[in-house]
A and B are shown apart, each in its own frame.
Chain A
Amino acid sequence: MPRSMLVLCCFCVVRILLPTTVVAQTSVNPDISVIPRFLIHSDDGQKLNEGKREFSRPDFSFEELELALQAYLNPFAKADVVLTLPGPDLENSKLGIEEVYATVLRGLPLDMNLRIGKYRAEFGKLNMTHPHAWPFVTAPLMQKRFLGESLNDLGISASVLLPTEDVYTKLTVDLLRGTAIGGATGMVDTTGAKPYYANTARLSSFFTLSDYSDLEIGLSGYTGIHDPYHRDRFWYGNLDFKYKIRPSAYTSLVIQGEYLLNTRTVHLEDEKSISSSGFYLYADYQFFKTYSIGARVDWSESPYSADDKASGFALFAGYYPVEETLGLRAQYARTTTELPGFTQSVNSIDLQILFSLGPHKAHPF
């Protein structure tokens, strides 16, 4: 670990712990929320090997349960813990840690925020959003192929607001343990060596276009070692945007997209460099406050081959009858996988049911 980051880390820990010597007791519980998701799924790809294209019997399964705890540690810092119980096998599923981190919110030079722990890194826009808050049911192909479920790693994050007058411009830099990329690309480190540190950074600006519409644009980078044996490095560059117009409390339109560019060195028979990319773009229209409809287009190559392509589109609808304490989402998706000499399309239908116990916080943009 670089010496400067070690100093920063120590400072962060001291900042979190120091005031607890003053605040000796507290009788305030953290905010606790529980969000389980269930899924009914059917697709027509399960018997394609047998030459049959027919929709499978709808399978009702437990998708995931998130248990989130959040509280201020002291006047300067707060902590978040998100535990997850993944489905579908409820009997053998184990509660895991999705996120656990402390954030120093105030009191640091340059009004810096520091975060330490395990968390979803600020890379792109969708990565920071938990799946229960997505308007669609399944992750975009680009996200799945290049980041796995999410870019979620142990690390230290520092962010500052840049002096850009009234425009909110934030720069976030992360030093990550470097294990997340293995989960994303299926690479398993058999060397037993410690992982190599990875870095992410995101520069984002928020523009108020009118009283009713806003635009956020972000530029992210992510680099690390994806093959510890050969010490092969990868570089991700990502451009994201989110536009939202909300003319009334009952209606809104969100258009969001991301484009990711990947470059990496790989050792197959000999060393070579691979470049590939992916993108998604979606629109989600909310009406009568409780309904939403939307569409998403997807295209992505593989991190390891520009010849391995996947493309698709999804149509989705949501119904949130009582302030998002209960949600129903339906999605139809068609995904086409293309390899040299092989093309296959699968249609899938999903119905997701979720509910939310506990405090319902305001949505971040």
Chain B
Amino acid sequence: MKWVLAFIILAMAGVSEAAIKVVTSLPDLADLARQVGGDKVSVDYIVRADQNPHFVEVKPSYMMKLKSADLFLTIGMELEMWAPQIVDGSRNASLTVVDLSQGVTKLEVPAKVDASQGDVHRFGNPHYWLDPRNVRPMMDEIVSALTKVSPADEKTFRANADAYLLRLGVKIQGWEAMMKPFAGQKIVTFHKSWSYFANWLGLDIAGEVEPKPGIAPSPTHSAELIALVRSAGIKAILVEPFYDLSAPEQIARATGAKVTVLPTSSGGLDQTRDYISLIDYDVATLASSLKQ
């Protein structure tokens, strides 16, 4: 009898641990899923913070992550061009792929899409998660997706999301206050990753180190950018950790601007363990560069 009871207790413990299995493309989405799902979800992600999310090799190990997942949360807007191959390879017929961009106001939606424009995303710039105001529509999608898997927990998911958004709202006010003195300042970025971030903080992106999205820097373009940085008095060149620093550093040496390496995803540094600390780090680091 004792063994039967022990088995039932263990089985019930097992049931309570049978969390909704969520896999996300980016670690930031994993953090948001954890915030909403709490102990009702187990969360994993695919792209490390030091990886370029545009270019991910299709590895069987990623397929294994999705094999038993309930939800796959993605940025969408064709950021994860590699995702369909991994989803297909997972052989998970019950997997639901969730595009978190549904409620986001898109920037830079191109009128024309062809390879002459570089790596242009036809649905617009997909780097919207770097504007924390977009977390609200993203969280709405996460709540909705989790609720479909576990309708009984809808209130918990909504309450968790609201509590997080409240905390985030306070942080947003702080970040905006910190960056208010720099409103209207021009910056240069390596890739078009920072359009939403700059739009939120009122910064003006005067140019990119890439001549076109996804196209490697060229000497001619760098020379034009050096002239631009000098004439506009630009102080910061924002670079993601996974890009080569040689072209930005060359421009910085010629102009006195500061190369500012800002992660676009959490988890790469001790100071960027989650989404809020990522934006904390990015805002503080950029403010420091612009102050010089």
Contacts and interface: CB of A to CB of B under 8 A. Distances in A.
A288 B217 CA distance: 12
Contact of B91 (A113, A216, A289, A322): A113
Given A249-B242, A322-B216, A364-B57, 9 more contacts: A106-B91, A106-B92, A206-B59, A216-B60, A249-B51, A289-B216, A361-B81, A361-B82, A362-B82
**Considering the complex of A and B, which 7 residue pairs feature the smallest CB-CB distances, nearest first?**
A362-B82, A168-B60, A111-B91, A206-B60, A106-B93, A364-B58, A208-B61
Nearest to A362: B82
B7 interface: no
Contact of A362 (B63, B81, B92): B81
Interface in A153-176: 161, 166-168, 170
A363 interface: yes
B250 interface: no
Given A211-B48, A362-B82, A105 B57 contact: no
B286 to A, nearest CB: 23
A250 B58 contact: no
Nearest to B93: A106
Interface string B58-75: 111101100100000000
18 contacts: A105-B88, A106-B91, A106-B93, A167-B64, A206-B59, A208-B59, A211-B48, A216-B60, A249-B52, A249-B242, A321-B216, A323-B214, A361-B82, A362-B57, A362-B82, A362-B85, A364-B58, A365-B60
B91 A323 contact: no
Contacts of B93: 106-107, 111
Interface of B: 48, 51-52, 55-61, 63-64, 67, 81-82, 85, 88, 91-93, 115, 119, 214-216, 242-244
A78 interface: yes
**Which among B55, B57, B119 has the highest number of chain A CB atoms within 10 Å?**
B57
**Which among A107, A113, A211, A322 has the highest number of chain B CB atoms within 10 Å?**
A322
B119 to A, nearest CB: 7
Contacts of A111: 67, 91-93
A363 B58 CA distance: 6
Contact of A290 (B51, B52, B56, B216): B216
Contacts of B242: 248-249
B42 to A, nearest CB: 14
Contact of A249 (B55, B67, B81, B85): B55
A325 interface: yes
